Structure 1
């Protein structure tokens, strides 16, 4: 599958003929100023929680593409109220089968509120199981022992984990999370966008190498195939 990075925690997965977008925060991100949001095509938009740096462009992209927005009950209802016509509400522990595979909403330890300050439900991550690949999108989270439950149910090929520290795990905890999930390949996210989460790329790569992990730090706009 092709994976395109749009900054912060926003990734577009091309899974067969389906395009699945995670946590779109693009237009306010100075590092992503070269990305044209209106050019992004998405059949599904998955939101891990309600913070602005994960949902800012969801409404616009959903309306541009008539996308199905998948999120917790509170976030799905909030976007319905803003005119997003297609939503699929979920909650932690639930699973839904979609045309590209199954999506299970799993625990994340983090706060969640919507851009207008209203209640954003519980933050979450996703395990996506497709015909050929299974991956874990952690969302914003601390390191949690609940991650050890994931490989008891899924054979995960790679994980997308936050590494920016301050608001989420740092790279040291992310490498432990990779051990918990039993993956050797990690795509880093939630770093560099704001001063609080700036990273030293050489340092985080050294930590990953010491942990025998392949840490991929994508450039904004870059597409890779996994």
Structure 2
């Protein structure tokens, strides 16, 4: 199982014999200017919510790959109005068995409006059961007590936002790691905009002091999970 970072909260997860792309925001990000979105060719795109820094390249990548989009029901309906009918709508607490493994949609505390102003339903996170591992992608979220419900899932890895201002910051992400009982964390949603700039060295030191294996990847960098 391998994951590759493409900036902000955009990751590819290669698992279950498929390529799963999360929250595609690449072309508007100057730091990701060398990434060719049409070369990614995901089999599935998982969308946590409707904000532009998570869906900017959604339509373009889907049309160049014919990927199935996994998202909240309201975003699936919105996609249908844009001529994309192979979206799999879900809702909080529900799970579904896909060809690569199982996905459960879980709560996130945030907001969700699509770029054209359409309502994006509830923001969400995902728990994936694939290749004998359990992986949590939190999406954009505050620290929430609901995360304690994941403590018994035996999570192998978790993607958590750490940029503060719009989501939880480093300190709350460390608390979240305790809530979800997971010591292997991939940081996301930081440094892209001035208000979410962090001191990377300080952040890494805090995670290490808390006994957490933290990965803060460079754009284009991959790591085996």
Query: Partner residue of 2:221?
Result: 222
Q: Which residue of 1 aligns with 2:102?
A: 102
TM-score of the aligned structures, taking structure 2 as reference length = 0.98
SS at match of 1:179: helix
C-alpha displacement at 1:150, in angstroms? Answer: 1.0
Any idea what the Cα deviations from partners look like across 1:15-60, whole Å, max 9, x if unmatched? Answer: 1320100000000001100100111110000000000000111111
2:65 matched to which residue of 1? Answer: 65
Counterparts of 2:24 and 2:74 in 1: how far apart (Å)?
18
Deviations 1:134-169 (A, max 9, x none): 1100000000010000123x2110100000000000
CA distance in 2, matches of 1:198, 1:131: 34
- Matches for 1:1-150 after TM superposition, within 5 Å: 1-150=1-150
1:167 and 2:174 are equivalent in the alignment: no
| Distance in 2 separating the partners of 1:136 and 1:17 | 18
Q: 156-165 or 79-88: which moved more?
A: 79-88
Residue-pair matches, total: 225
Structure 1 stretch displaced more, 12-21 or 45-54: 12-21
TM (norm. structure 1) is 0.98
Determine the structure 1 residue equivalent to 2:202.
203
- The C-alpha deviation readout for 1:45-92, integer Å capped at 9, x for no partner, is 000000000011111111111110110011111112112231100011
Task: Please tell me the root mean square deviation across aligned C-alpha atoms, in Å.
Answer: 0.8
Task: State the 4+ residue runs in structure 1 displaced beyond 2 angstroms.
Answer: none
Provide the rounded CA distance (Å) in 2 between the counterparts of 1:218 and 1:108: 23
Check whether the contact 1:66–1:85 (CA below 8 A) recurs between aligned residues. Answer: no
Q: Unaligned stretches of 5+ in structure 1?
A: none
Residues 15 and 131 in structure 2, CA contact (< 8 A), matched pair in contact too: no
